[in-house]
Structure 1
Amino acid sequence: MDRSLGALTRLAAALAGLVLAAAGAPAAAADDPGPALAGTPVTGTPTEARAPALATGRYLDRLPARGSLHYRLPRTATGSTFHVAVMFVGSGGSVGEGVRVQVGTTPGDQGCGSGGVFRPTVGEPAPVLFTGLTTWTDVEDHPCAVATELYLSVGEPDEDADAGRPMEILVYEEPPLSAYGLDLLPTPEPVPWTAQRPARRPRDVPAGTTPTNAPVVGDGTYALTLRPGRTRVLAVPLDWDQTLQAQLDTRLPAGVPTPEGIAVDVVSPLLGTSERPFTADRPADWRVPGTDGGRLRTGAQSQVVSYANRNSYDASITTEALAGIHYVLVRWTGTGNAAGPDVPATLTLRTTGVPGDGVPSYTPVDGLIGPQPASRLVDGTLQAPVATAPERAPRTDDDPLLSRRTLVAGGGVAALLLVVLLGRARRHSRNHPHAGAARPLSHHERGGRHRG
């Protein structure tokens, strides 16, 4: 739940975020809007003293120059799970940029979760870098699940040029399950890759440059322009028990830099990996040409959105899936030549599955709302469930209350009809003095899992 102060506050925060992003990011070409960040301004502290409290929402701060920045995560309800992500736009051209993020029950501790990003960005003028973590545990009385407050810290970047650059902090507090019992919710099987035929007339939707400004789309084929060193992002809603396939198709001209650096990734609402690995069984229809150019097809297949896949203990499954807006990132990395040619491409998106046995049941808590497919979870789009009135048992003909109501209703209708008819009779008598009195009328009225 985004605890904002209204539309004006959100607009002011967004404008402030864009100003910070523009101040910290390198200049972009006129036809490329450049990466965008946004959020409610916040200032982390170098020590735990007076560290600001972060509720569910999107925040904007700057990476520390030295040491770590500290924040507090006040817990709304025992058993809730915090999902945290940090995203920034790096300075680029580094052999390895990144930061480390951790959460614990005491300041500076990482016992409740940690994450880090470290990626070479040679040839990328403005790499989009992010990492995330979750505090989830299946031990009901674990300190990370019951502590009234947890502590978040963001470490200094590995690349000195990134110090002081704007960073987004995403926080989502997920309600507790109605009961602990992970065996009650099924662990879904990965969905196999299915080759798609791109539409002959792809939709032209301007792609985002970060998850923050990615447009929300549905199934279909979309036109993209691949540019070396740049990131293109589309957003797709996914519900529980659903999965997403993203297929990229293009034809590369001869002489393009490092075509193997073109990659597609699917990440969850809190920027966690949600992808089926294809290292050993790469789909047969995928093709990556050499520098002599030719047809390219690659893609990504997300894991099924399920409670079991929110934070898997299985090392072969890389996923942090929650229902909500997922992001498809198309990147051309490792080029060493950001001035390479623009290449037209298509991205075909396909969702599968419908919500079923894998939908978790959450404990109702004031101030906490479970994940929803059309929400980014951190920007105020979460909506409180609509309360439904309890169903009443159907009445029967021998119900005394029903019989009394029927008699009253029938009597009222009969009286109304009698008044209308008598009025007509009087008017008729006035208009026709010799007409006889109205004959009495007879009237008959029918009464009528986790998983909890």
Structure 2
Amino acid sequence: MTLSESGRSGCGRSGAVPRGPRVAVVAVVLLGLCALLPVPTGTAAAADTRPGSYDFAPGDRAVAGAADTSKAGRLDPGHTYRSSLPRNGRLYYRLRLTAPDTAYVPVTAVPPANATVSSTDGIRVSVRDGDGTPCSFASARFGAGQSPRPVTALAQREAGKALCQGAGTYYLLVERLDTQGSGAAGPTDTGAQAQRWDLEIAPATEPRPARTGPTTAPRAWDSATPEPPAGEPRARSGGAGFASAEPVGQGVWRTALVPGETRFYKVPLDWGRRIHATAELGASPGRGYVGGALTLALHNPARGCVDDAALGYTGVRKSIALEPLPPVEYANRYAAPAGVSSVRFAGEYYLVLHLSEKMAPLFGQGPFDVTLRVGVDGRAHAGPDYTGPTEPADLFTVTAEGRETARTAAAGEPDDTTTRLVAVGGIGLGTALLLALGGWTVAARRAQRRVSAQKPTA
């Protein structure tokens, strides 16, 4: 039963027709007020939960990519943008960068739910300077699940590197990787292969630190696999995008996924803290094998992929785990392994679950039980003193609000939004009910006086 169903059933519990004017008035008032009373819901409850859906950030700006740099649409760090990519398309976007800032440009591609994709399909992104020299490359593919889902690749321009230095105009190039061939979609292309993929682009910048610290990655950290948290799982359905990711902290969480569905969670990590996560797909009737049935991915605050894992499924309960990661440190960026260099700043880290659409033919439409175990350890400490603000603000810090949200999530407490709705709703309902009862009392006394006045005198 959903929260909204529970709220309505609580208002109209009695099936008998009320008798008498008092009961009728009170019942009408209660039914009317319950219909108007907002039912508290979490972020995930408000999110679109259809398979293949994605929650774009509220206020996303529309931007058009171009086939060449001369007409490239402009991107400003600190804002999120929505665009689209044709089959095998190559689109350019333009952005202006200052010399000392490191720029991160994550691109999330969202294919339609009915798209046909292979394991090697996906996107490739790069940032290039005004002469066309690439600063970096990154790609994201759908993987063994062969299931259309949101995939994110991060392009970046790092200050202090040999290439792409100085202020000026840079370009983001987004390319669609498609095994069906090359070239833009033509007039004869039909069906899912001719469909465009939606894009969400979220450029960000990181200023340089005021003091230069170590320029080599930390060498000493515990690389042993941590023991997953134990305990009774608590329900957390998750969000349908980065913008609607549901906060979780240390603990065991439970959700239910249908084939083709993707869920997002966010975990705040301070400097010096580290995360470990496992995901478990419950047993189900059916026979067969699905490669990449469940995918678990971790993304950093700039949405760059830190690590991912996928499991093959035969109907037997099975789990996957992310590789052990070091604590979050600024100097991690100097490490060669991508999984280490990507945990380079504090902020909100994202855990993403996806259940392959290939599950449906062999194991049914579900929903399938998934358990997410999140471990957070390490000693928090102050981070670098940046020379200026990040864009967007506070992207690479854990705010007091973020810490409190994680604490209440881990403790199983309702968040402030839910508490406020309950309080306001309760006060509003109580006040309105008192007014209604007061009005009924006045009306009842007037009616009683009329009846008394009509009685014959002795």
The answer to whether the 8 Å contact 1:273/1:320 transfers is no
Q: Which runs of 5+ in 2 are unaligned?
A: 1-46, 186-192, 400-458
Q: Deviations over 1:120-176 (max 9, x none)?
A: 47663x41112112222544xx45232333221212442663653210011111111
Aligned equivalent of 1:332, options 351, 355, 364: 355
- With over 3 angstroms needed to count, the CA separation of the structure-2 counterparts of 1:122 and 1:93, relative to structure 1, is farther
What is the TM-score of this pair, normalised by structure 2? Answer: 0.62
Deviates more, 1:182-191 or 1:87-96: 182-191
Say which of 285, 294, 304 aligns to 2:316.
294
Partner of 1:70: 92
Change (3 A) 1:374 1:162: farther
Matched, 1:36 2:48: no
Match status 1:47 vs 2:78: no
Which protein has the bigger helix share?
A: 2
What CA distance in whole angstroms lies between the structure 1 residues aligned with 2:56 and 2:150? 10
Which residue is equivalent to 1:147? 167
Q: SS state of the match for residue 331, structure 2?
A: helix
SS of residue matched to 1:309: helix
Tell me, yes or no, if the aligned pair for 1:82 and 1:134 is still in contact at 8 Å: yes
Instruction: Output one character per residue of 1:358-408: Cα deviation in whole Å (capped at 9) or x when no partner.
Output: x22322369785643447xxxxxxxxxxxxxxxxxxxxxxxxxxxxxxxxx
What is the deviation of 1:255?
2.5
Instruction: Tell me which residue corresponds to 2:372.
Output: 347
Instruction: Give the corresponding residue for 2:269.
Output: 238
Q: How does 1:65-104 map to 2 (within 5 A)?
A: 65=87, 67-76=89-98, 78-91=99-112, 92-95=115-118, 96-104=120-128
Determine the structure 2 residue equivalent to 1:255.
286
**For the structure 1 residues 341 and 195, does the alpha-carbon distance in structure 2 shift closer, same or farther, using more than 3 Å as the test?**
same
**Which residue is 1:211 aligned to?**
242
Matching residue of 2:305: 273
Partner of 1:128: 150
| Cα distance in 2 between the residues matched to 1:367 and 1:122 | 35
On the 8 A contact 1:122/1:336 being kept in 2, the answer is no
How many angstroms apart in 2 are the aligned matches of 1:345 and 1:171?
Answer: 32
Contact 2:263–2:352 (CA<8 Å) still a contact in 1?
A: yes
1:327, distance to aligned residue in structure 2 (A)? 1.0
- Aligned-partner Cα distance in 1 for 2:169–2:214: 25
The answer for the alignment partner of 2:208 in structure 1 is: 176
Q: 2:165 aligns to what SS in structure 1?
A: helix
> AA paired with 2:278?
Q
Residues 168, 310 of structure 1: alpha-carbon distance in 2 compared, 3 angstrom cutoff: farther
Amino acid aligned to 1:60: R
Letter in 2 for 1:152: L
Match status 1:308 vs 2:331: yes
**Aligned partners of 1:175 and 1:368 also within 8 Å:** no
Change (3 A) 1:263 1:52: closer
Deviation of the 1:289 alpha carbon = 8.5
**For the Cα contact (< 8 Å) 1:198–1:346, is it kept in 2?**
no
* Distance (whole Å) between structure 2 residues aligned to residue 184 and residue 123 of structure 1: 38
One-letter identity of the residue aligned with 2:56: L
In the alignment, the residues of structure 1 paired with residue 51 and residue 260 of structure 2 have an alpha-carbon distance, to the nearest angstrom, of 12
RMSD: 3.5
8 Å CA contact 1:191–1:243 kept in 2: the answer is no
* Aligned counterparts of 1:230 and 1:365: Cα–Cα separation in 2: 36
Q: Which amino acid aligns with 2:355?
A: W
Contact kept? 1:174, 1:368, Cα under 8 Å: no
**In the superposition, relative to structure 1, how do residues 122 and 246 fare at CA in structure 2: closer, same or farther (>3 Å)?**
closer
Give the aligned partner of residue 356 of structure 1: 381
**Percentage of matched positions with identical amino acids:** 23
CA distance in 2, matches of 1:219, 1:58: 29
Partner of 2:437: none
Equivalent position amino acid for 1:132 in 2:
L
SS at match of 1:71: strand
Following the alignment from structure 1 to structure 2, what is the Cα–Cα distance between the partners of residues 258 and 333? 8
| Structure 1 stretch displaced more, 219-228 or 254-263 | 254-263
Contact map agreement 1:273 1:318 (CA 8 A) in 2 = no
Once residues 92 and 398 of structure 2 are traced to their aligned partners in structure 1, the CA distance between those partners, rounded to angstroms, is 31
SS in 2 for 1:117: strand
Paired with 2:145 and 2:170, the residues of 1 have a C-alpha distance of: 36
Q: Which residue of 2 aligns with 1:407?
A: none
The question of whether the paired residues in 2 share the 8 Å contact of 1:209 and 1:232 is answered with yes
Cα deviation per residue 1:182-220 (whole Å; 9 max; x = unaligned)?
3387456255322234322x3222212332322122222
Q: 1:128 to 1:182 in 2, by over 3 A?
A: same
**Gap runs ≥5 in structure 1:** 1-27, 280-287, 376-452
Decide whether the 8 Å contact of 2:217 with 2:333 is kept in 1.
Answer: no
> Which structure 2 residues correspond to residues 313-324 of structure 1 after superposition, within 5 A?
313-314=336-337, 317=340, 319=342, 321-324=344-347
Aligned position for 1:189 = 221
- Paired with 1:123 and 1:143, the residues of 2 have a C-alpha distance of 36
| Distance in 1 between residues matched to 2:141 and 2:174, nearest whole Å | 14
* 1:64–1:155 Cα contact (<8 Å) kept: no
- Cα drift, residue 62 of structure 1: 1.1
Q: What residue in structure 1 maps to residue 454 of structure 2?
A: none
Cα offset for 1:90? 1.9
Conserved in 2, the CA contact under 8 Å of 1:121 and 1:127? no
Once the two structures are TM-superposed, the CA of residue 84 in structure 1 deviates from its matched residue by 1.0
